[in-house]
Amino acid sequence: MHVEPSELPNDLVIIPAEIPDDLKIVKIGLARLPKAWNSYPASGILQDIGDDWLSKKQSAVLCVPSAIITTVNNYLLNPLHEDFSKINIKRKEITPFIFDNRLL
């Protein structure tokens, strides 16, 4: 989203992953986000929240609300966390990600 068609990367991929049920997932709810958190361009506060989560290694997975599709969540992975190796990254199922032209 918010990219000029000429700037679209052509090397994006989809990588499926299975997160074990017993793996801790930190969730950031709407109450913890700043006002107009989903506006464009994004507030630097959002990056600060993510940087803090990464540096403190609070969990291998962070659940955040999607700014684009407000009824779903996005899951961010922290490869520096000790539990990251418990996530089953399905490397054999990697597929190219193709932007739908209707989004442009």
Residue of 6, 12, 28, 13 lying closest to 93 (CA atoms): 13
Beta strands in the chain (DSSP E): 13-14, 17-18, 25-27, 61-65, 73-77, 88-89, 95-96
Tens digit of pLDDT for each residue in 5-64? 788 888 889 999 999 999 999 999 999 999 999 988 888 999 999 999 999 999 999 999
Domains: count for the chain: 1
The span from the CA of 99 to the CA of 10, in Å, is 9
| Mean pLDDT calculated for residue range 63-87 | 93
Residues of the domain holding 70: 5-103
Phi first, then psi, for residue 13 (nearest 5°) are -135, 160
The predicted pLDDT at position 54 comes to 94
